[in-house]
Amino acid sequence: MTPEEREEEAMDMVIRLATTINAYEEVAMTSKSTNMGTYVYEKLDAIPEEFRPRLLDELSDAGLVNCWYIAGLLYKVKLQEREAGGALDISSDLEDYQERLDMTVEKAAERGTDSFDESIDDDEYDFADDEEGRAAKARRRAALVASAAGVQVFEGRAANVPGGPFINRFQKVFYPSPKEAGVWHGRVVLKKPNIVEKYLPLYFRTNDTVERFVKVGTTAEDADLLLDYQNPPYLESDMPPAMRYPSRRTPGGDGRGGTWWPVPRLSPPPFDTLVDYLRPLGPGVYAGRGWRDGGRGDEFLTFILFRRYDASPVEAEP
């Protein structure tokens, strides 16, 4: 299968799945015997990981809201049955990809190189300087740069926000807490000028993922992970070296811009008491919803997150 055919097949899968999610209310009435939570998870798993974020552009606002409810159906399946083929939880998903980033860096170190230029065997590419060889070198170099940053970037979209893509698109960037095992830190990148990001850094910390599930304070709904903006990581010691002064910037991959880490500060309203809750929708895909007053107040925004796969499994292979 050529790369073009592979992309065409993946996009067909994306559009079919988006159509199902957008029409979830009608589909649910005709497929009561099917758990749509496991169905959507399996369909997302079947889509090559680099094409999953294309779903961002295919979902309607109603479909995006449906994702929260569809992901909630996973909690109606017995845990043993739900995870018979492997863990379907956000904690394991984050840890597995973090391990991939670490292995990508370790592989480069074992080869004694700070880039992947030397990692392409002559047998694999007879002409290292041809277009295919140069593209492979560029991909591996970008993967190493992104992996060394040690952060996971998720592209996000919020539902029912006026202004379209200029307002409703953002990133959430995660990294493991240097001091607390099982806890993740991060921030929301609004994709706005630095002057805006400076006053809205929107740092968060998660619950300890030793807790298998969490409950939404207002509704008692199940979720896997909560992002608390009320008590953000403040100290330099809370951040990996790449995020501390003087740079406070972690690089991106594949020609993408990096992530800026402005000085942490308390968020202004309406973010000052915000808590987001996340549910797994598929591998590297999370449905989220926020509530004010520490999760006990009014509903805020519903959104979806898709991991940006800066490092592929190939780069992490031993």
**Amino acid 87: pLDDT:** 73
Radius of gyration in angstroms for the set of CA atoms belonging to the chain, rounded to a whole number: 20
pLDDT averaged over every residue in the chain: 85
Instruction: Give the integer Cα–Cα distance in Å for 303 and 110.
Output: 40
Report the range out of 53-67, 190-204, 236-250 with the highest average pLDDT. 53-67
Question: Is the CATH code 2.60.98 the one for domain 149-313?
Answer: no
**Amino acid 198: pLDDT:** 87
207: helix, strand or coil: coil
Q: What is the pLDDT of residues 246-293, one digit of tens each?
A: 568 887 654 466 888 888 888 888 899 999 999 999 999 999 999 999
Hey, where are the domains in the chain?
3-82, 91-147, 149-313
- The secondary structure of 111-176, three-state, reads CCCCCCHHHCCCCCCCCCCCHHHHHHHHHHHHHHHHHHHCCEEEEEEECCCCCCHHHHEEEEEEEE
Question: At 241, is the pLDDT very low, low, confident or very high (cuts 50, 70, 90)?
Answer: low
Nearest to 225 by CA among 284, 280, 174, 188: 280
Phi, psi for residue 104 in degrees, rounded to 5: -65, -40
Please determine, for residue 200, whether its predicted confidence score (pLDDT) is greater than 80. yes
Q: How far apart, in Å, are the Cα atoms of 113 and each of 109, 116, 134, 253?
A: 6, 7, 17, 18
- Give the mean model confidence (pLDDT) for residues 86-98: 89
Strand partners, 157: 169, 304
Q: What is the pLDDT of residues 3-58, one digit of tens each?
A: 899 999 999 999 999 999 999 988 776 667 788 999 999 999 999 999 999 999 99
pTM: 0.89
Please tell me which residue, 144 or 24, carries the higher pLDDT value: 24
